[in-house]
Amino acid sequence: MPRKQPEEYRRRSALYYIDEIRTPLMIVHGEKDVQVGVSHAVRLSEALRERGIAHELGIYPGLGHVFPQAEDSRAL
């Protein structure tokens, strides 16, 4: 959790609203993301699985936080 503005992190993190999620999710994450570590996507996926919420987790090797347009289109 970021130290500078932890309240903003909580406000934006799906983990803090997980019990309100009612629709299936698709989680798309670049393996080389240095802004938001891939562990965040894995933690979200695990929490969804524990609650029986339908979702897919796609971790894309070699990609970072922002996907190139062609890769973005392919992923989505």
| Sequence ranges of the domains in the chain | 6-75
Residue 2 has pLDDT above 70, yes or no: no
pTM score > 0.85 for this model? no
Write the burial class of residue 71 (CB in 10 Å: 0-12 exposed, 13-18 middle, 19+ buried): middle
Could you tell me which of 61, 22, 65, 29 has the C-alpha nearest to residue 45?
29
Residue 25 has pLDDT above 80, yes or no: yes
* 31-73 confidence digits (pLDDT tens): 999 988 999 999 999 999 999 999 999 999 999 999 989 888 8
Residue 20 has pLDDT above 90, yes or no: yes
Q: Which residue type does 25 have?
A: L
Neighbour tally for 27: CB within 10 Å: 16
Binned at pLDDT 50, 70 and 90, residue 1 comes out as low
* C-alpha torsion angle, residues 35, 39, 42, 48 (rounded to 10): -80
pLDDT value for 10: 77
